[in-house]
Structure 1
């Protein structure tokens, strides 16, 4: 189904949520990352279907302490489905390093992502986050 392109303020707000999530994730500010989801939000992550903020927070708390990540969001396209629902499609290039790594890093994943957002009357939040492999990273 084709949806109308979102007006500028909705586009900016929705892409800000997507970028804000990955900034919080990369800075290990898990509480802020979780707050960007709706209370019953779903994250399809690493083959696991995480439902609700509690499950998402638990998964983030289990991330290895010595692991550093960087997520680059590229080519975001926002489609407004109705006044309170939008979809953001984008590509994601992920990098990761473990403490003590001295070699140059290469992308660890290149993914095609879809975030479905809902407006809760005050702000846009992630209702459903999913991704699939787009192409293998250079290190494969």
Structure 2
């Protein structure tokens, strides 16, 4: 991607800020638009047979602490992104904050949100909106 940006074969890339910094993309691109259009998280999973063998009270303890660790990880990433953005700005990268209203309007009118709600179900959709705010 670095060489493609450098030679103008590509005029953009999509990566987390930490990778933009570590790959030195700031050397070959002038602008960065913060769209917040995707989110990557870590999944904690266990095989069904193993999980069912764990007593219910221990499942609750494990779930409680894994969820707490996940929230802490998300907070850590948010803080790291602020620090990396400041670092990238100090190296000359100009950040554009995108107004997501038009983007969300197109997704909504195209049926993306209704399809996602149907695919994942009302409970999951409710949890998403609980933490992300009203989506559609």
Q: TM range, normalised to the smaller chain?
A: under 0.3
Structure number with higher helix proportion = 2
Instruction: Tell me the TM-score normalised to structure 1 length.
Output: 0.23
Higher RCO (C-alpha 8 Å, min separation 6): 2
Larger Rg: 2
